[in-house]
Each structure stands twice: as structure tokens, then as C-alpha cells.
Amino acid sequence: MRAMAYRGPFRVRVEEKPDPKILHPNDAIIRVTRAAICGSDIHLYHGLMPDLRVGHTFGHESVGIVEEVGPEVDNLKPGDKVLVPFNICCGFCFFCSRGLYGNCSNSSPNASASAGIYGYSHTCGGYDGGQAQYLRVPFANFGPEKVPEGISDDDALLLTDVVPTGYHAAAMADINEGDSILILGAGPIGIIAARAAWLMGAGRVVVMDHLDYRLDFVASYGPAETINYLHLKDPVVYAKKITGYIGFDAVIDAVGLDAAGNAMQTITGKQLLLQAGSGNALNWAINSCRKGGTVVLIGVYGPPFNLAPIGSVVNKGLTIHANQCPVKRHLPRLYEHVRNGVIKPSEIITHRIPLDDIADGYRIFTSKLEECIKPMVLPNAA
């Protein structure tokens, strides 16, 4: 099969790789019809995740057709159209039994750090991802879901990660009616989090980013007030100023370890790799939140430490919620929202890229060219 392969920081290409095989009785093989490049794939592309090996295939957002199933798979059959949540989860361990599918203890040898995630380095299990023509899906009796009636393939693709993750971020913010919410990052996750915050009862939603085209998009899609922090002397002081010097009730960090905005964080976290990426957004989130408020970390950070003002967390009495989104927990409600037009996931797709052009797709997305919001990958397009 043809598949994207990592060759080192800022270097990916399409290669011929062996077709995936059934390795366990509960496996399935999926012919991928749609995949995507996620903002968190850019962290891999930049070489910021540990134990990322040459030849690894990225991609944790996939929709496809079942080609083959193992002898113990009884809920899927060849020909079924499925969406594949990014969490690789068994469905029966201590964590899965509590709905913590992003913390499954059976899907990754490094389960103390993370559950398995498709295409996300050997830290997350070493599973090849869906930016390829075919994908091996473990725990196929639990993980993948048949695409429901009334859900388009494009919408289904974004229900594998982006929409549930943005929705989960808003849910973790513990929003009370009328609360003020600040979202750092106007990428796909921040855009969905802004829309979901209204569903949770927010009274004010503000999104901060440095790219005007992304801010324009979230201003209409969220909708949200927007701030370009490049125009500010101190974004944290400004965040306090517009809330009467109290701070926001909840702040969502939808950026993670690739955040810009502070030279020291960039040098120590992204160039010298002395911490797990830049902790800039994490610092802004903590400092922009009011005393007794909630900080949500939904952006990707590596397992090692980050420089963070933990004393401010203690003295301000902040609650911090963070986790990989348990996709399957949110899907029933999100299916309803999509069918009813409350959330229209496919509207954030701006680029459709044939697999053979995926190097250009990464270049466009990481360099923020062509007003790219969300790129879709088509493995079998000419």
C-alpha cells in the first residue's frame, strides 16, 4: 500500500509499505477513504514528541470501509463503513469501564503515560496511522463505530477527534450559566470548543490567536469575540482588563507544546528541548484565569515536565482539568447535534489533499498558508 512516512523533522513522504495484517483475533483491516492532518500531527512533524521513529505513519482521524475482520470480531463485517476514534481502547479495563477511553491500560506498552493512539509515536503504542490506504484497527469489537444514518463521510471524519475533543474541552471547563470563557488557539479544536461553550451555557466566549484568518473564521463559526495577541503589549494583562481585572471564569489551552508568543519558552522548549515543548499557552491560561476558576488543558504536551507557575495555581485556588478526549463517550450526543445542525463539522474543512501530495499538505498546514483551517487527506484520490 501507499502510506505517509516520517523521515525526520519537517520531512515526510509517501512510500510503499506492506499491507497491514490481522495480528490478533480482535483486529480489523480498514480501507481508508478519508483521513486528516491534525494540529497535533504538526507536533510530530516538528519532531517534538519522544520516541518518534523514522518510517512511522501518522494520522489518528480515519473513516473507511471494513475489508477484513479477525475471527473474534462479531459487530463488524466486510463492507461496513466505519469511523475510527483516535483512542485505541479495549473497552473492559479499569479505565475503559469508567469511560476513560483515552487512558486505556491495555492498548499501549507505555500505558502509564498514554493509551494507544493511531500514528502518534511509540510513546503511544507505535501503531501506524490512517494517512495511508489501509489501517489495522485493534480492539475492533469496541473501538470503531459504523457511520450512522444522516451523518456524511466528511462529518464522520471530524467526529473521530476534532469535534469530540473541542466538545470535551468545553465540558471539562465546568461552565455555569453566564460564565466567561477564554480559549487560547483558533485552530480546529479551539473553533469547536468555542461553539461547544455556548451549548454548555457560557455567557461570553473569547478566542485568542495570532492569525487573523483563523480569528475571522471562529468569529463567525463560534461565534466568539476575538483577540490577536500580536497587537497587545501583554496578553495576560489585557485578558484581566476586559474582565474587570478579575480574570476569566475558565480558560482553555487549545494550543499545547507548539505555542508561540514567548522567546524563552520557544528557546527552551522547541529549540533546546529542555522541556516538553513551549509552555507559553499553559502559562497564559493559568495567569488569565480568575481565582477559583478552571483551567483546561486539551492541547498536546509531551510526557516530561514543562515550566509552569504552579505557585499561582495553588494561591489562586485553580482547578485544572486535562485529559485525552474519550471520543466514544461523547459520540451519541454529538450525532444528535450534527443531525440537528447544531454543529456542522465539515464546514471547517478547507483543503482536500490526495495522499501523494501529503508533503505539500503538511507544508501548507504547518506554515499556515492558503488560510488553511483543516486539511482532509484522500488516500485513493488521483
Q: pLDDT tens across 45-96, in order?
A: 999 888 999 999 999 999 999 999 999 999 999 999 999 999 999 999 999 9
Query: pLDDT value at position 114?
Result: 83
Query: pLDDT value at position 382?
Result: 53
Per-domain boundaries in the chain: 2-161+326-378, 165-322
* pLDDT > 70: percent of the chain: 99
Name the residue with higher pLDDT: 162 or 259: 162
Query: pLDDT value at position 258?
Result: 82
Query: pLDDT value at position 110?
Result: 84
pLDDT at residue 108 above 80? yes
Query: pLDDT value at position 288?
Result: 98
Supply the CATH classification number for the domain 2-161+326-378: 3.90.180.10
C-alpha cell at 176: 455555569
pLDDT band at 266 (very low <50, low <70, confident <90, very high): confident
CA distance 2 to 80: 22
Query: pLDDT value at position 306?
Result: 83
Name the residue with higher pLDDT: 150 or 112: 150
Query: pLDDT value at position 371?
Result: 97
Query: pLDDT value at position 284?
Result: 96
What lies within 8 Å, CB to CB, of 244 at 6+ separation is none
- Rounded mean pLDDT of the chain? 95
Query: Considering the domain 165-322, what is its CATH architecture?
Result: 3-Layer(aba) Sandwich (3.40)
Query: pLDDT value at position 259?
Result: 84
The candidate with the shortest Cα–Cα distance to 224, out of 198, 259, 254, is 198
What lies within 8 Å, CB to CB, of 367 at 6+ separation is none
Query: pLDDT value at position 48?
Result: 85
Is 2-161+326-378's fold the same as 165-322's? no
* pLDDT > 90: percent of the chain: 87
pLDDT at residue 301 above 90? no
> What average pLDDT does range 256-273 have in this prediction?
82
CA distance 185 to 372: 14
C-beta separation of 229 from 210 below 8 A: yes
Q: How many CB atoms lie within 10 A of CB 199?
A: 15
Least confident of 158-172, 266-280, 363-377: 266-280
Query: pLDDT value at position 265?
Result: 86
